[in-house]
């Protein structure tokens, strides 16, 4: 009887291991603490329950400047539905440039300046801008974009995430 159970036990262990390895695991957004430009402390975990777009950008980045009006429209379109954009200016950006751009464009979302490079490091060492992370309501990273995303695709992913 015991000899018959050993092969069955081995098969069960192999199946469990295979299932564990084949089931996709969610990469979770870091539990990042940051300050907004107006010095309010906030953490990504406080935004759980919302779909969050974390956008690393710089005022010297032409791609960032090109995509920013679209990000403004997306925030305006989905903000009342549980969506939040967090724009994190890179460490090397200059605060007066960030402030001037924010005032000029009337950016309707949370803005932070990553002066200590902690946010970029927490997201795996972001070096290129724009780099954008779409985060689901549960804090899981749904998509990472390096470069300007296709805005129609991004909106479709936001809409899908808002429905879940």
In this predicted model, what pLDDT tens digit does every residue of 128-144 receive, in sequence order? 999 999 999 999 999 99
In this predicted model, which residue has the larger pLDDT, 138 or 13?
Answer: 138
pLDDT grade, residue 10 (50/70/90)? low
Spell out the domains of the chain, with CATH numbers in brackets: 27-163 (3.40.30.10)
Look at residue 116 in the predicted model and tell me its pLDDT.
96
For the record, the structure tokens of 127 come out as 């070096």
Flag whether pLDDT at 7 surpasses 90. no
pLDDT grade, residue 15 (50/70/90)? low
Mean pLDDT, range 72-77, rounded to an integer: 98
Give the 3-state secondary structure of residue 107.
Answer: coil
Look at residue 25 in the predicted model and tell me its pLDDT.
59
Q: What is the SS3 string spanning 36-94?
A: ECCCCEEEHHHHCCCEEEEEEECCCCHHHHHHHHHHHHHHHHHHHHCEEEEEEECCCCC
Name the helix (H) or strand (E) containing 33. strand 33-35
């Amino acid at each position: 009887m015991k000899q018959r159970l050993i092969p069955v036990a081995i098969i069960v262990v192999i199946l469990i291991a295979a299932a564990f390895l084949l089931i996709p695991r969610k990469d979770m957004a870091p539990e990042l603490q940051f300050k907004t430009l107006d010095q309010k402390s906030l953490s990504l975990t406080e935004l759980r329950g919302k779909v969050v777009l974390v956008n690393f950008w710089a005022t010297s980045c032409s791609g960032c400047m090109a995509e920013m009006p679209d990000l403004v429209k997306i925030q305006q379109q989905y903000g009342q539905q549980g969506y939040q954009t967090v724009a994190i200016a890179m460490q090397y950006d200059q605060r007066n440039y960030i402030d001037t751009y924010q005032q000029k464009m009337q950016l309707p979302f949370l803005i932070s300046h990553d002066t200590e490079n902690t946010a970029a490091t927490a997201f795996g060492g972001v070096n290129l801008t724009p780099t954008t992370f779409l985060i689901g309501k549960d804090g899981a990273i749904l998509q990472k974009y390096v470069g300007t995303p296709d805005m129609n695709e991004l909106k479709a992913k936001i809409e899908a995430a808002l429905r879940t």
